Amino acid sequence: MAPQPKYKRILLKLGGESLSGRGETGIDADMVARIGDEIIAVKARGVQIAVVIGGGNFWRGNDPYAKQIDRATADYMGMLATVINALALQDALEKRGYETRVMTAIEMHQIAEPYIRRRAIHHLEKGYIVIFGAGTGNPFFTTDTAAALRAQEINAEILLKATKVDGVYDKDPHRFADAKKFAHLSYNDALLSEQVRVLDDTAITIAKEHDLPIVVFDLEDHRAIERVVMGETVGTVIGR
């Protein structure tokens, strides 16, 4: 008998920068295609997949210009950037023959469905890949918080956070050769540590309150999402 997935429904959090490939801005077609293939490998296992995507490849709140304008306005601009990325990922997946639904927290009927919890769950049960854009629809909240919130709303069993490193370290592994990687972190350790900032505190708190495990992994690690779903130890687990 073929191995069965450990999880039946997952929430994948992608940073906008993941779509830019080796560049810092914009969308790299090859990278979007590769991410699409990674998602499809999991979908082929019969797993229901929802995705929350950021917009950092187009707009970041800490950019000099963003700091010059009203914070709420800057955050709404960032939400619109996430929708561009959601549509790019949708295109890549549908060109590979997989039906998707983009749902946004800010209504824009011409290009996406408004986010409705029960409808999102219905889409997942029908086998669609659901991509959530526009964050929570509210300023002052990150897409990490949106990911934790949506994971709870759709009853996802795990939150997968894709990054550019293979887990959580006690300091930046790109700068320090002696950086120590954690195989497991408690929610409290992730909240209290000044060095560990892979997700914002609100996202971790939501996960802690609902006992939602988080796996932080390197998106460049081939088939990492599939391996997590199949029960392998990948990256760093944040949980009990």
CATH number at residue 28: 3.40.1160.10
Does a structural domain hold residue 27? yes
Residues 100, 51 contacting (CB under 8 angstroms): no
The pLDDT of residue 147 is 98
- Residue type at position 126: K
pLDDT in tens, 71-82: 999 999 999 999
Structural element, H or E, at residue 130: strand 129-133
pLDDT in tens, 38-76: 999 999 999 999 999 999 999 887 788 888 999 999 999
What total of structural domains would you count in the chain?
Answer: 1
Does a structural domain hold residue 15? yes
Place of tokens 């929708």: 83
Q: For residue 102, give its domain range.
A: 9-239
Does a structural domain hold residue 161? yes
Question: The whole model's pTM is what?
Answer: 0.94
Does a structural domain hold residue 1? no
Per-residue pLDDT of the chain (240 residues; tens, 9 = 90+): 778 999 999 999 999 999 997 767 899 999 999 999 999 999 999 999 999 999 999 988 778 888 899 999 999 999 999 999 999 999 999 999 999 999 999 999 999 999 999 999 999 999 999 999 999 999 999 999 999 999 999 999 999 999 888 888 888 887 888 888 899 999 998 887 766 677 889 999 999 999 999 999 999 898 999 999 999 999 999 998
Does a structural domain hold residue 4? no
d(CA 172, CA 7): 30
Does a structural domain hold residue 67? yes
Does a structural domain hold residue 60? yes
